[in-house]
Structure formats: structure tokens, C-alpha cells
Amino acid sequence: MTHDMSEAIAKNREHQNDWRQYFSFSTDHKVIGVQYMVMTFIFFLLGGLLAMIIRAELLTPESNLVDRPLYNGLFTMHGTIMIFLWIIPFNAGLSNYLVPLMIGARDMAFPLLNAISFWILPPAGLLLLSSFLLPNGTAQAGWWSYPPVSLQVPGDQFINGEFIWIVSLVLIGISSIMGAVNFVTTIFWMRAPGMTFFRMPVFVWSVFSAQLLQLINLPSLTAALILLLLDLSFGTQFFKPEGSGDPIIYQHLFWFYSHPAVYIMALPAFGIIAEVLPAFSRNPLFGYRSVALASLGIAVVSIFVWVHHMFTSATPDWMRMTFMATSMLVAIPTGVKAFAWTATIWRSKLHLETPMLFAMGGAAMFIFGGVTGVMLAATPFDIHVNNTYFVVGHFHYIVFNTITMAIFAAIYFWFPKITGRMYAEGWGKLHFWLTFIPANITFFSMHPLGLQGMLRRISSYDPQYQGWNVIASLGSFLLGASTLPFIANIVGSWLYGAKAVDNPWHATGLEWTTSSPPPRDNFEEIPVVNRPPYDYGDPKYSFVENSDNAESNR
Amino acid sequence: MFSFFEYVLIAFYVAGLLIVSRWIGQQAFSWMPPQATAEAQRVDDLFSFLVSIGAFILLGLVGVIVYAIAFHRASPEDYSEGHPSRGNGKLEILWTATPTLLVVWIALQSFNIYQQLDILGLNQIVHLHTPLESAPAYAATVSDVPKPASETIDVFVKQWDWSFRYPNNVTSKELHLPINRSTRLNMQAQDVIHGFYVPEFRLKQDIVPGRKIDIVLTPIRPGKYRLKDSQFSGTYFALMEADVYVESLDKYNQWLAQTVSSETANDKNQAVAENIQPPKTLFKSGWHTITPPQPAIANQRKINNDT
Ligand code: HEM
Ligand SMILES: [Cu+2]
Ligand SMILES: [Cu+2]
């Protein structure tokens, strides 16, 4: 290496540690990734705050904390924020950071487009929040925004909560489409020499599958929203029953995207689990090929199951039975994944650091959520619990107990790579237990409530339901508190944590071969790949390279 | 991959799981509200079956994870491998086949039970008057022959109010059903989508404005239940409940004879009351809401007749 080059690299490092870059229009996929992750985490906190107000209202049967329009606005905003401004864009951020590193690329295929995709989000999010200031408040029709309820806007203002809701969602959708084009192209064309499809980490496979779903299905939501906007503000009658419209068409268009959306959220989480479990059990990922292909399988099947959200929506028998069958099929590739994770842990050498705790906790909770998911696919049972708290419990086992837990696993796992510093292990473990136990208290309680018939979206309820509601609410307050040690740990460690080595976990994967944090172009030299992924049997990863670091991990 | 001893252990584990999950499946009946219709019994049988299978899978996999945590911990400095195997064809086929067989079994059971609900009457006849009517897919499957039922009651629903019209033209805010007879509910929504749901009946059906939707059910357990709106229908959604009485045919007829059709006799619409006098909440947004229309059943009948 020439003197010039090392100087350039040193300069680069300096720039890398400059916090101001995160507030700039950068085209570096790593900076963009961090921008996404930090911004969406702020929305997660906001969405969580709204959830706690909802749970506070539900402490008692009567409506006594917030009035009914506000309650309806709160659950609408909570759901919208959590899905469209937390999980989906967080995954985009994490994938942005990791995918080029994992496939040995210098950046994403279209760096400028990448930056634009991100910069659409903050204005869209602020726009959505601004609707709290409107005289008649936010949208109140739930994140599904089913017409005709969503078209009933009291007070005839042209700019109303529903209007703003639609516009911000269309903007977020545009950002996602641009991101999807970028991810699919990058994974297809930018892989390093030797990085064949079957040498790609499962995380990359799952991002690929999820982003394909965005490309195929998101246009359907955009169409639904635009037609809804025309009905709402421009006098058309696509969905208006009192005219010539049909509100059920909206439901088809909506769920054609929003069912796959759960896999757009979940697949990257499965990918995270598939990275973390092998590293901390020192085993190759068991059945790598089937796990990789299962990601694609899940994506394909999940395009054809949307009507299971509409079993009670005047859906004819043939449709109920067809979509019951397709919905059950998803259980097969999903089952393959869950079995493979379990077999990876079997006869292993477990290291229970924080990322592993979150990944294992997430995997175990996913099995529970998956089981109730198959139950919901069984039409006769779904007819009873549809739109009750059973469903709310089920999907929070997926969106919180699996996906959000996996996201925490990812943050801890790649924290040293991203920041160049170690987080504090004790605080991480505290965070895990403060999350895992209350999450189960909160979301388990919703299942018996639903079986007993408590409906979702109600702002007051019959006194018979109070017991489990109090438990769920107390759990949710604890869950809210659990973010405090996390924030303290992340902020503190980012500023003052011990310096991290390149590969603190002795993990495989190209991202661990470059420095922490990686230089501007990721690799000083583009790597050539000649080994299978998850090569944990290889002695290269079996000795302790840097015992200093192993100390500071604990 | 396994020694003989391990096979024996695994066999015991699976046997234990079978017993425990079967027991949990039996408990599932008690997690449900009372079974007030013939349909409810079928749904609960299915639920119990689903819980047994679910418990088997959940406990099986979580058991392995817990076992690993208990016995496979590595010392902090030990980064050597656990086991080197990257896969095992037989095992992978086994665990692809297992969920496949399980879901086929579950789907068949559910289909079977769905058919039985159908025999008992869960078959909504959708009369489309939207442009969709010409769509062949719908036309082919929507039966125009009404299912036989011994009683027919009209259900009118609007924001946030239920009302029922009986064969002798009595209208009421209460739903009365004779026991052990199949009853057809002819349901029509006026403004937005509402949902017919009585948890003890296990049945639920959205009522879409512009469509006539039927549901046939057979109550088998006398008592008083609550009808709820299961589809979010706007501001006072939570208040949209009505009383349901399941009683003997004699009592039912007696009630029909005594009750005079009237809009005022049992008029206590909670949404209207709350719109006039909102509850004292800590935070008031002051956001505008749709005013619930005053109950006017006669008027409503007119609207519904011309659909
Ligand atoms: C942080 C802890 C959380 C708590 C305590 C919580 C609680 C709740 C509650 C009480 C509801 C209202 C249920 C209803 O009436 O429909 C709800 C709805 C919802 N939540 Fe959460 N939630 C949490 C986290 C999340 C996360 C991480 C997501 C991510 C996707 C999420 C997504 C949703 C969605 C989509 C809805 C449906 C909103 C609607 O019905 O329109 N939640 N949540
Ligand atoms: Cu779905
Ligand atoms: Cu309603």
C-alpha cells in the first residue's frame, strides 16, 4: 500500500466518525442505512407512546381518558406509524446498510435514488403527524381505512385527516418502490466475484424476496389509495355503495398488498435470525439451501392468500375455501425455517450474548404466532375470532415479539460494525428481559380476550373483560419502560463504548472482513468469495483472534 | 446422527408431548364462551383440534430450544464448532413432509366443519345489485335459492343502531330467537359496513351496504346474550350493541304478541345519548363526529325496501 493510499484511508475514517454526515444528503448506503434506522426508531417511540395511551384507556371498561374520536385517531395512527414508519422502513435501512457489505459491493446500484428514497420519508412522516393539528384531527378509520367509514368526513374540510393520511401513504409507497428497484438490482447485478446465489447469506435472500413482493404488490395499494382519494375529495364513486361503487373492491386491492406486507416485514426478520443463530451457536445454518429457498417460497405463496382477511366480508364459499387452502400452504416453508433454526441450535456451543437472546426469544415467539396464524387460516374458527383481540394478539406476536425482537437482535449484532464500538452487555441483557417478559404479558393476554369475544378497535368494553385488559395494560407500560435502558446503552456506547475489532463475534460473512466501521467504499479490495456461507466448522473462525475484545464483550 | 439411547429418549419426549398437547386441546373448550348455537359446538371441536396440534408443535420446538440452553452452553472463550453438519437430506424431507401433512389434515378438518356449518345453515346469499352482478365468477357460486329456515327476521343496521323486524311486522330493538329452530336473518346496512356478531353463537358476518346478506343459525341454549358490531363503523362503534334473547317457542310467540311495534317503546340508543351528553374524559379532542341519526324505524324500512 502506498503512503498516499493509507493517508486517504485515514482521512476517510475521520469522515466516517463525523456525526454531521448523518444529517446530510449522503449517497453512501451506510450513512443512508443509519439515517433510516435512527429516524424510524423515533417513529417507533412515538407509535409506542400512542399504544400506551390506548392501553391506558383500556384499563377500565368505561371511556374516560380520551374521547371517542381521539381514541379512533390514536389506534389509526399507532397502526399506521408502526407498519409504515417503523418496521418497513427500518428493514429498508438495515438492508441498505448490510446488503452491499454482505454481497461484496461498493454501494447500492443507484446511490442517488437511494438517497432520494430516504429523504421522501421524513416529510411524509411529518405530514402524517401534522394531522393531529387539524381542527377535526387525524384519520380515524383504522390503518385499513375501509370505505365507506373512511369516506365519512365530518365538517366538509377539503384538507382533512383522511386526506393527509392518504397523501402520506402514497408518498411512503413511492419511496418503497424506489427502494425495491434498487435492492433487487443491487442483489442481482452487484455481487462480488464468486458470490453465487447459493453463497449469499440468508439475510440477503430474504431481503431479495421481500423487495420482490414490494415491486409486485405495492402498486395495488397505491391504486386503492388513489381511488379512495378520488372518492373522498373529487366526487367519484368507486367505493361508494350509495352510488354505483363497491366497498369490497377496496378490500381486495388493499389486502392484495397488505397481506404480503406482513412478509415484507417478517422476511428480513427471519433473515436476521438466520444470521445470528449460527454465529452464537457456532454451527453452520442447518439446511441452508432449503432455508434460502423457503424465503422465496413464502414470498410466492403469500401473494395468493389475501382473502383470509375477508372471510366475513360477504365472501362466497368458494373463495373462503380456496383461500383457506392457500393460507395453510404458507405454513410449509415457514415450518421449514423454524425447524432449521431449531436444528441449528441443537448440539451447539451456545453463547448467550444479547443478540442471541433476542434472536432466540424472537424465534420462540414466532412459533407461537405461527401456530395461531394457522388457526386463523381455518375459516370456521376465524369467523369467530376475526376482528377480535385474538387477532390483535396474534399479529403482535409477529410484529412485536418476532419482528421487533429480531430488529433489536440486529441492532446489537451489527452495532460494533456500524459504530466501531461495543455496546454494554449487562444493559443489553437487562433490556432483553425487560422486553421479553412484558411483551408476553401484554400480547398473550389479548388471546383469551379475543376468544371471549372482545372486539378490536372498541374504546369501551363490557366489564367482564376487565381482568385480562388490566394485565395487558400493565405489561405494555413495562414494555414502554424497557426502551429506556436500550436508548441509554446505544447512545452511551456509541459515544463512549470500548473500541470494537473487525469481527467481535467470530462470525462469517463478508461484512465482518472489513474494518469497523467500514471505509467509504466498504472494502479496500473487492473480495473474491470461494467458500459456502455459515462456515462455522472452519478453523478460521474457531480461534480467538482478539481476546481483548472477547473480554470487553462481557 | 443419533445413538440408540437418543432415539429412545426422543420417542419418550414425543409420547409425552402427545399426551400433554391432547390434554391442552381438551382444556380449549373452557376458554370459549358458552355454546349457544349448534354451530358453536362444531367450531369449538375444530378449535380444540387446532389447539392440540399447535401445542404439540410449540412445545416440541420450544422444548428443544430450552434443552439446548440448559445443556449446550459454551465457555466464553470457546469459539470452536458445535456440530459440523450443514444439512441432512432425510431430516429435511421429514420436516417438510410433517408440516405438509399437518396442514392438509387441518385443512380437511376445517373444510369438513365448514360443510357442517353449511348444513346447519351458515350460507349467506348475496344479492348483488352492483355492476359485479354480471361477473360470471359470482353468478356461478351465489345461490339464489334461499336455505330453508323456519323463521325469518329482518335485521336493519345503521350507525350506531340495530333494529329487528319480525314476521308479524313487529319491530324492536331486541333480537328474540326461538330455541332449536333454524332462523334466517335477512340483514341490510344503511350507511357503512357493520358486522353481526354474538360471541356465544360463534358466527360473524359483515353487512355491506347495498347488499342483502342472509345468515341462518340455530340457537340451542336459552339465555340473554349481547349482539355486537364486529366491523369498525365509526365514532360510537363501541356502543353498538343490542340484547339477544333465546327462548322457547311459546315464550317467543308470547313476546311477539305482547310487543307492539313502536319506535319509542324501547328506544334507548346509547350513541344518540352520548352524542348529546359526551362522557367526561380527561382529554377532549373536540374533533367533529357524524351525528347519529335519531331512531326512525318506519323511515328505515322504506329505504331498505327500494334496494
Ligand atoms: C410497543 C408495544 C405495543 C403495544 C402495547 C401495542 C398495542 C396495540 C393496541 C392496544 C392496539 C389496538 C388494537 C385495536 O383496537 O385494533 C394495537 C393495534 C395495532 N398495532 Fe400495536 N402495539 C404495540 C406495538 C406494535 C408494533 C411494533 C407494531 C408494528 C407493526 C404494531 C402494529 C399495530 C397495528 C397494525 C395495529 C392495528 C391498528 C388498527 O386496528 O387499525 N403495534 N396495538
Ligand atoms: Cu394475511
Ligand atoms: Cu356498526
Per-position DSSP letters for chain B, written without gaps between them: ---HHHHHHHHHHHHHHHHHHHHHHHHGGGGSPP--BHHHHHHHHHHHHHHHHHHHHHHHHHHHHHHHHHH-BPPTT--S-S------HHHHHHHHHHHHHHHHHHHHHHHHHHHHHHHHT-----B--SGGGG-HHHHHH---SPPP-SEEEEEEEETTEEEEE-TTS-EESSEEEETTS-EEEEEEESSS-EEEE-GGG--EEEE-TTSBEEEEE-B-S-EEEEEEE-S--STTGGG-EEEEEEE-HHHHHHHHHHPPP-SSTT---HHHHHHHS----SB------PPPPPP-HHHHHHHHHT-
pLDDT value at A294 more than 50 = yes
A140 lines ligand 1 (CB under 6 A): no
Instruction: Give me the sign of the Cα torsion angle A434, A439, A444, A445.
Output: positive
Q: What is the ipTM of this complex?
A: 0.90
pLDDT band at B147 (very low <50, low <70, confident <90, very high): low
Among A82, A404, A435, A437, which residue has the most ligand 1 atoms within 8 Å of its CB, making it the best to mutate? A82
Contact assignment for B130 to A336 by CB distance below 8 Å: no
What pLDDT is attached to residue A9? 56
Report whether A64 contacts B280 (CB < 8 A): yes
For the ranges A201-210, A498-507, A524-533, the one whose mean pLDDT is highest: A201-210
What's the gap in Å between A460 CA and the centre of ligand 2? 27
Substitution target in A157, A313, A350, A462 with the highest count of B β-carbons within 10 Å is A350
Following CA atoms A411, A417, A420, A424 in sequence, which dihedral angle do they give, to the nearest 10 degrees? 40
Option in A247, A346, A364 nearest B208 (CB): A247
What pLDDT is attached to residue A274? 95
What pLDDT is attached to residue A341? 92
Q: Which of B217, B141, B160, B140 is nearest to B186 (CA)?
A: B217
What is the DSSP-derived secondary structure letter of residue A402? I
When pLDDT is averaged across residues B172-197 and rounded to a whole number, the result is: 91
| Tens digit of each residue's pLDDT (9 = 90 or more) over A305-331 | 999 999 998 888 888 999 999 999 999
What pLDDT is attached to residue B118? 66
Substitution target in A308, A311, A349 with the highest count of B β-carbons within 10 Å is A349
Option in A146, A384, A461 nearest B43 (CB): A384
Option in A67, A368, A386 nearest B285 (CB): A67
Cα–Cα dist B161/B191, whole Å: 11
| Tens digit of each residue's pLDDT (9 = 90 or more) over A145-157 | 999 999 998 667 8
When pLDDT is averaged across residues A533-554 and rounded to a whole number, the result is: 55
Which residues of chain A are within 8 Å of residue B65 when distances are taken between CB atoms?
342, 345, 360, 363-364
Q: Which of A475, A408, A398, A466 is nearest to A442 (CA)?
A: A475
Whole-number mean pLDDT of chain B?
A: 82
pLDDT band at A114 (very low <50, low <70, confident <90, very high): very high
Reduce the DSSP state of residue A313 to 3 states and report it. Answer: coil
Cα–Cα dist A32/A34, whole Å: 5
Reduce the DSSP state of residue A190 to 3 states and report it. Answer: coil
**Whose C-alpha lies nearest to ligand 1, atom 38?**
A79
Which atom of ligand 1 is the closest one to the Cα of A472?
A: 5
Reduce the DSSP state of residue A189 to 3 states and report it. Answer: helix
Which residues of chain B are within 8 Å of residue A152 when distances are taken between CB atoms?
191-192, 234, 290
* Residue A82 CA: distances (Å) to CA of A42, A426, A456: 11, 28, 17
- Edge-first strand listing for the sheet containing B171-172: B171-172, B161-165, B151-158, B183-189, B213-217
When pLDDT is averaged across residues A177-204 and rounded to a whole number, the result is: 94
Residue of A nearest to B214 (CA): A314
B193 min Cα distance to partner chain A (Å):
7
B279 or A69, higher pLDDT? A69
Whole-number mean pLDDT of chain A?
A: 91
pLDDT band at A3 (very low <50, low <70, confident <90, very high): low
pLDDT value at A17 more than 80 = no
Which residues of chain B are within 8 Å of residue A339 when distances are taken between CB atoms?
61, 95
pLDDT value at A2 more than 60 = no
The pTM for the full model equals 0.90
Q: Residue A2, Cβ neighbours under 10 Å: how many?
A: 7
Cα–Cα dist A474/A35, whole Å: 33
Contact assignment for B79 to A72 by CB distance below 8 Å: no
**Whose C-alpha lies nearest to ligand 1, atom 7?**
A51
Report whether A363 contacts A341 (CB < 8 A): yes
Substitution target in B104, B285, B291 with the highest count of A β-carbons within 10 Å is B285
What pLDDT is attached to residue B128? 43
pLDDT band at A75 (very low <50, low <70, confident <90, very high): very high
When pLDDT is averaged across residues A247-264 and rounded to a whole number, the result is: 94
Residue of A nearest to B93 (CA): A336
pLDDT value at B261 more than 80 = no
Among residues of chain A, what percentage have pLDDT more than 90?
A: 81
| Tally of residues, chain A | 554
pLDDT value at A420 more than 50 = yes
A448 min Cα distance to partner chain B (Å):
7
What pLDDT is attached to residue B141? 40
pLDDT value at A169 more than 90 = yes
Cβ pairs bridging A and B (under 8 Å):
328
Option in B87, B141, B208 nearest A318 (CB): B141
What is the DSSP-derived secondary structure letter of residue A400? I
What pLDDT is attached to residue A466? 95
pLDDT band at A225 (very low <50, low <70, confident <90, very high): very high
When pLDDT is averaged across residues A113-141 and rounded to a whole number, the result is: 95
